[in-house]
């Protein structure tokens, strides 16, 4: 009986200790927008993770514009928040506003994407996947599938200037560079949206003998891939069969496409970027512990055999499911 009471006391102390460091803590989150199902899930999971820790989370939707993010960050600084989370829409142009946050002694955490600044002390840590590795995993899958056979690839890039787009491109290109039978014949930004992915894919199809010259689509995210699938179908071709589809994010709609035989593989990107950032923030507030400069999340490749199970796992994670041509709101 004494042991049970003692254990209960220890647990209560731990809970109270964690609560003490999160009580009244407010975090401002400058989110890129809601350009994809994955982004919607990241926002939803961030809210859940904040609630778990008793943290007040204020979210500002930048609608994919850096100037809106900078305005939001300045607003958070004026409000005197305890920390600022940023999912940066592009890689550069952050030095002045982050210097303002530093002078206000507000720690900054990056989520999902990286930035280039003159002084790395302007942010505390970045939580993200290894996007170069994601691109390499996608390329390795295609190389294995082709097994020496020739393949003309069209690439749907993410937002111009975004670190994740640059890195996913690099990982794929560097890997296929060693395989002369695989060539990227066209590449263009689809801005991470379904509508733009569909539009760009339509132009690729027209330029390449009604799609007959295209062996595979490599999309920097699933939403652009889903837009491409629609364009391929409208051209009278079979996505997943006539043209292979490989993309990144692991959103529910790509697993639905796999189950329909219209997509071949996706490299999953976890939407839980905020959880590790909140933990790092709480540790810092508690005893000044500095986190590693980069906290990496896991990336796993999934194929159709896993689609149904993955769809079930993700059903309550806040992903938005849209029709292929529907733009993000």
E strands in the chain: 26-31, 56-61, 83-86, 108-111, 125-129, 151-157, 182-189, 216-219, 244-249, 265-269, 294-297, 299-302
Give the span between the Cα atoms of 194 and 314, in whole angstroms.
Answer: 20
Q: H or E element: which one contains 286? A: helix 274-287
Per-residue pLDDT of the chain (329 residues; tens, 9 = 90+): 444 434 344 434 444 444 455 557 999 999 999 878 889 899 999 999 999 999 999 999 999 999 999 999 999 999 999 999 999 999 999 999 999 999 999 999 999 999 999 999 999 999 999 999 999 999 999 999 999 999 999 999 999 999 999 999 999 999 999 999 999 999 999 999 999 999 999 999 999 999 999 999 999 999 999 999 999 999 999 999 999 999 999 999 999 999 999 999 999 989 999 999 999 999 999 999 999 999 999 899 999 999 999 999 888 777 765 544 443 33
CATH code reported for the domain at 2-128+271-295 = 3.40.50.2300
Q: Which of 129, 128, 138 is nearest to 254 (CA)?
A: 138
Place of tokens 């996505």: 239
CA 209 and chain centroid, separation: 33
CATH architecture of the domain 131-270+302-313 equals: 3-Layer(aba) Sandwich (3.40)
137, 301 Cβ separation under 8 angstroms: yes
Give 323: exposed, middle or buried? Use CB within 10 Å, 0-12, 13-18, 19+. Answer: exposed
Query: Looking at the chain, which residues constitute the CATH 3.40.50.2300 domain(s)?
Result: 2-128+271-295, 131-270+302-313
Record the pTM.
0.80
């Amino acid at each position: 009986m004494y042991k049970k009471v003692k254990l209960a006391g220890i647990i209560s102390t731990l809970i109270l200790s964690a609560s003490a460091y999160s009580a009244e803590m407010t975090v401002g989150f400058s989110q890129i927008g809601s350009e994809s199902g994955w982004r919607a899930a990241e926002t939803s999971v961030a809210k859940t993770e904040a609630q778990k820790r008793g943290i007040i989370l204020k979210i500002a939707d930048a609608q994919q514009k850096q100037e809106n993010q900078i305005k939001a960050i300045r607003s958070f600084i004026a409000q005197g928040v305890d920390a600022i989370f940023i999912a940066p829409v592009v890689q550069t142009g952050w030095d002045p506003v982050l210097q303002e946050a530093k002078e206000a002694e507000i720690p900054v955490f990056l989520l999902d994407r990286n930035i280039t600044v003159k002084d790395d002390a302007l942010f505390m840590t970045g939580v993200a996947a290894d996007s170069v590795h994601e691109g390499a995993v996608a390329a390795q899958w295609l190389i294995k599938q082709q097994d020496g056979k020739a393949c003309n690839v069209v690439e749907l890039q993410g937002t111009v200037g975004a670190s994740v787009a640059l890195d996913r491109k690099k990982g794929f290109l560097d890997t296929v560079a060693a395989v002369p039978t695989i060539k990227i014949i066209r590449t263009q930004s689809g801005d991470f949206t379904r509508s733009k992915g569909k539009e760009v894919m339509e132009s690729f199809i027209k330029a390449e003998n009604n799609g007959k010259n295209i062996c595979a689509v490599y999309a920097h995210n699933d939403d652009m891939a889903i837009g491409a699938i629609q364009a391929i179908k409208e051209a009278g071709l079979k996505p997943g069969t006539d043209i292979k589809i490989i993309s990144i994010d692991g959103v529910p709609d790509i697993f639905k496409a796999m189950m329909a035989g219209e997509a071949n593989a996706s490299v999953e990107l976890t939407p839980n970027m905020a959880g590790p950032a909140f933990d790092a923030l709480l540790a810092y507030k508690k005893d000044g512990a500095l986190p590693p400069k980069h906290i990496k999340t896991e990336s796993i490749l999934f194929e159709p055999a896993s689609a149904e199970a993955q769809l079930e796992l993700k059903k309550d994670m806040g992903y938005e499911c849209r029709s292929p041509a529907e733009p993000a709101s």
